[in-house]
Amino acid sequence: MNYTSLAGELQSLVRGSIRINESMRKHTTWKIGGNADVFLDPSDKGDIRQAVEFARERAVPFTVIGNGSNLLIKDGGIRGLVIKIGRGMANLSVNGNRIRAGAGAMLPELAAVARKNGLGGFEFAAGIPGSLGGAVVMNAGAINGCAADVLVEVEVVNHNNKLVVLKKEELDFAYRTSSLQNQGLICVETLWQGYAKEQWQIERETKEYLAKRKIAQPQGYPNAGSVFKNPQGDHAGRLIEACGCKGLRIGDAEISTKHANWILNLGNATAKDVLDLIDKIKQVVQKRFGVLLHLEVRVLGED
């Protein structure tokens, strides 16, 4: 497929910018990943619908990403079109105790707007570096709450390229998952609802929570947060640590010595380094504890 001419054609249909052979290292917090054939930074919902229609008509595969903070993109990159829902779709507006926001706005921005407006329930969002679209897909959360607690509804682009509103109840939220993970729907807008809470209280709790995160989490090297989901009633980090895996390294990928469920990119880690480390961890944890760990990070692209 000639991606240069395809990109040119698509550029004439959308307002957002198109790039070819875009390195996905720039778009993941792990700073890992091969190139995307064609990359779109959409300006609005219209761009997304145009791009999706264009791709479907030409049988070009397409992939949607947010801030890339939960993604391992393989070294061979991503074929077809990658749509990154980000700054072009990051508007937020408050109405009473509700906040409407584009899927490209970030969780810490949502938390900040809620804080300024005396809305509680969003404290968990302050420290998670994901877009709102990615947060809904992953049901992002921490000890003090998760996306499902405060979400009202989302607007998605469906398989017929129509904009459809889905209520929270339709999204099958559970621990770090939602039905949006496997349905091929694209989240473009979100509506959230908080409750009245004193601003000083939100500020104090947020500060304490961020300080705790800073102490518990590795700093300084690119990563994607927790690699594995916690198995029921336990912590993946505890199991991995108990197997003596802290500090284990393949290439430039290292299991953090601070938090065993985090894998750090010490400089030039490849997706293969990380995947080999993941396999190793799964093997030793299964052998020692009989527990099969499941990935929290999403793996995209080709070897």
Ligand X SMILES: Cc1cc2nc3c(=O)[nH]c(=O)nc-3n(C[C@H](O)[C@H](O)[C@H](O)COP(=O)(O)OP(=O)(O)OC[C@H]3O[C@@H](n4cnc5c(N)ncnc54)[C@H](O)[C@@H]3O)c2cc1C
Q: Which residues bind ligand X (CB under 6 A)?
A: 29, 64-71, 85, 103, 128-131, 133-135, 137-138, 140-142, 176, 180, 186-187, 223-225, 298
Angstrom distance (rounded) from CA 29 to CA 168: 28
Min. distance of Cβ 4 from ligand X in angstroms? 25
- Coil vs helix vs strand at 201: helix
Look at the alpha carbons of 96, 100, 101, 103 in this order and tell me if their dihedral is positive or negative: positive
Min. distance of Cβ 283 from ligand X in angstroms? 24
Active site residue 176: yes
> Catalytic one among 22, 155, 254, 296?
296
CB 255 within 8 A of CB 277: yes
Residue 167: both structure tokens together:
């209520």
Min. distance of Cβ 5 from ligand X in angstroms? 26
Active site residue 22: no
Residue (118 or 145) nearer to ligand X, CB: 145
Min. distance of Cβ 157 from ligand X in angstroms? 9
> Catalytic one among 69, 131, 178, 226?
226
Residue (35 or 223) nearer to ligand X, CB: 223
Min. distance of Cβ 185 from ligand X in angstroms? 7
For residue 7, the surrounding DSSP H or E stretch is helix 3-11
Angstrom distance (rounded) from CA 294 to CA 233: 14
Residue (189 or 273) nearer to ligand X, CB: 189
CB 221 within 8 A of CB 266: yes
> Catalytic one among 176, 189, 254, 256?
176
Exposure of 158 by Cβ count < 10 A (0-12 exposed, 13-18 middle, 19+ buried)? middle
Active site residue 296: yes
Question: Among all chains, which residue has been given the structure tokens 């029921």?
Answer: 232
Angstrom distance (rounded) from CA 45 to CA 66: 14
Residue (90 or 284) nearer to ligand X, CB: 90
Residue (166 or 186) nearer to ligand X, CB: 186
Contacts of 244 by beta carbon, 8 Å cutoff, 6+ apart: none
Residues labelled as active-site residues? 176, 226, 296
